[in-house]
A and B are shown apart, each in its own frame.
Chain A
């Protein structure tokens, strides 16, 4: 009996003490931030991606598995700006984890550190699922990722000072590669400037702005409201008057609406990876933008 209780005590202590020696547990709400945390943290972090490219981060349930992961997280990184309002607040209140509460270094809302666009002047639910703090999909502009990388590096160093030098070195290496890649993308994508495009949801706004592309319509009649036949008919008419060159949609969107519009108008529909894992080639952050631009160049001739 005595022996058993000793073993039990040892197990309990091991469980309680384990997080102190292990790598930082990073809970990333979206795959892009998981990929970034992996780039910056290497083997010093255990990264968990709460969602995949096939899921819509607006509509996720606070599943038991997510609560369990949030409970052990040292750092939570999300897009923020109310993108995850339907589930992250629940994780925070349910998980019993003080390290990731807002205001602590373990809570990072990426969109707070970049300049947000499309901040609505009028906030009303009749306008659809709008975000009063602006468009939350900030990662589609690689320059925003560079900025978030700086903040994330500081946070990682703050939470795990012993490995601060590792994080700094990795951040330097990432920055060099990233700046080089941005210059390359801007060169490759120069041809996309001014190209009129129809989006599914306003989730590529930062990308389009960066590339100088011109968003002329969206398949959703209002943000977050699924395409309706009436709205699609309107779009067909609009495309007859002023055709776009490409219709883009993301892996979590229902491709049928995009294909419908494409068939009716002859405008090519192109699947964008949107985030890491969205397409086979979007294996990492560099692949994400490589593939996005390649896919656009392939249809915009």
Chain B
């Protein structure tokens, strides 16, 4: 461009020259010759320049493209300039470095045959979290606010807060930092995060295929386990996906003690490993095995004893949980747009050994303590099929096995089994059906029907009509 201007100026000078020479007749011929020579010389140069310009244009297609090409060469040459060029094409506002912000809203209409306030899973120690089916009628679910960004070249940070609609308190659902590229397949996470125990535990509730968690997650993980801790994970350098990892955590939530104990060190530890891969282009699979060990101290829960008094009992001892999980996804040629199918299942097994204290508040028959031992298990299997773009149907079967629970106080005859009604042997079951419609990947409407046999002697027919939407930064969901 610059060169073109110079040429134009030279040309102007060359053409305007004759006007000034006309006045001087004497040297006219001589000057004319000179000018002609100059003109010819300039014309030649201009011609050459034009030719070069045309060549460049032909090569690059268009002038604008050639600018882009120059830009590309400059970028490739040096990473620093890369960022500069990239930045110049974006608005130079203060907020360009804002983290990715997202908000998840969900609301539900629930029609519950049984009183949700009396919800319990018979045969199983009540967990500390709220595992019930929620409120009856219309209610706003927990709203989620998420902030995610690379902190620098070393760390990535993520904060997900959930805002409870009723008492307006804000919970930190996840708040962690994660290494960005330790290389050799290592990743370290620190903070509060959903534990890698099991499969669905790591997935945010808004991305679940059903409105609520499987019974096994409710009974063994208190709905969903997010602890404060450190996670180290290593991925093997193989084409078949293989990872192993470990978590050390405070033990702030079920199956550990609420809030965690007042002690140094760790209150919970877990190990996990996964294998995964593809079968052809239409099938993808992943299996996992995980182990969670905690030592709850005075893990309290409420029960109704044989006198009909509400008492607080508590457990201290060891809790060991094993989870085997598997997921299989099918999409024709790996393209899930029209049809796809997902099969998912988990098997949980928990052993608890320690002491059970009856009536810690001495509200009824007086505080007494004895041994406690339980071996319990549970599993679920669910399938979700997308039968047309936007439309999916799903079915889930849940079953828990209370197993044999040994309560020392009952065995010695100090108390009777009627003093621990919630621990009485029972195998809860549930059938769940759902259909959902997702006009885009950012919104979903779901209708779910469940027949829940969690409570001994009661059938709870549950209907949920739910919406879940996400706004802001585009989320990326785990497999």
Tell me the A residues contacting B by CB distance below 8 Å.
15-16, 18-19, 51-52, 54-56, 59-65, 67-69, 71-72, 82, 85-87, 89-90, 92-101, 103-105, 112-115, 125, 128-129, 143, 147, 150-151, 154-155, 224-226, 252, 254
Contact = CB atoms under 8 A, between A and B. Distances in A.
Contact of B333 (A55, A100, A125): A55
B259 interface: no
Contact of B440 (A65, A72, A225): A225
Contacts of B95: none
B467 to A, nearest CB: 16
Contacts of A99: 181, 183
B342 to A, nearest CB: 10
Nearest to B335: A55
Nearest to B334: A55
A173 B334 CA distance: 35
Contact of A101 (B64, B73, B180, B187): B180
26 contacts: A18-B237, A19-B237, A59-B335, A61-B479, A62-B479, A63-B329, A64-B274, A65-B240, A68-B235, A68-B238, A72-B237, A94-B187, A96-B179, A98-B180, A98-B182, A100-B181, A114-B68, A114-B72, A128-B440, A143-B61, A147-B69, A154-B76, A155-B76, A226-B337, A226-B390, A254-B337
A98 B36 CA distance: 66
Contact of B68 (A104, A129, A147): A147
Contacts of B281: 52, 54
B287 to A, nearest CB: 10
Given A59-B337, A97-B185, A154-B76, A68 B239 contact: yes
Given A85-B474, A97-B183, 19 more contacts: A15-B237, A16-B184, A52-B281, A59-B337, A61-B479, A63-B278, A71-B236, A90-B478, A93-B178, A95-B185, A96-B235, A98-B180, A99-B181, A105-B79, A113-B71, A115-B67, A143-B65, A151-B75, A252-B335
B239 A65 contact: yes
Contact of B76 (A64, A71, A113): A113
A253 B462 CA distance: 38
Interface string B436-450: 000111100000000
Nearest to A84: B476
Contacts of A113: 68, 71-72, 75-76
Contacts of B185: 71, 95-97
B314 to A, nearest CB: 39
Nearest to B279: A65
Interface centre among B61, B182, B187, B278 (most CB of A within 10 A): B61
Interface in B133-166: 153, 156
Given A15-B237, A55-B334, A96-B234, A86 B474 contact: yes
Given A55-B334, A98-B183, A151-B72, A64 B479 contact: yes
B277 A68 contact: yes
Interface of B: 61, 64-65, 67-69, 71-73, 75-77, 79, 83, 86, 153, 156, 178-187, 233-242, 274-278, 281, 284-286, 329, 333-338, 389-390, 439-442, 471, 474-479
Contact of B338 (A101, A143, A147, A254): A254
Given A62-B479, A65-B239, A98-B182, A54 B69 contact: no
Contacts of A97: 181, 183, 185
Q: Which 7 pairs from chain A and chain B are nearest by CB?
A: A64-B276, A98-B181, A64-B241, A115-B68, A113-B72, A68-B241, A54-B333
A125 B443 CA distance: 11
Nearest to B79: A103
A19 B83 CA distance: 29
A145 to B, nearest CB: 12
B153 A63 contact: no
A90 to B, nearest CB: 4
A263 B442 CA distance: 33
A22 to B, nearest CB: 11
B144 to A, nearest CB: 17
A72 B242 CA distance: 13
A93 B180 contact: yes
Contacts of B333: 52, 54-55
A75 B72 CA distance: 18
Nearest to A128: B440
A159 to B, nearest CB: 13
Contacts of B179: 96
B240 A68 contact: yes
Given A19-B237, A63-B278, A96-B182, A129 B440 contact: yes
Given A95-B185, A96-B187, A97-B183, A63 B337 contact: no
B66 to A, nearest CB: 10
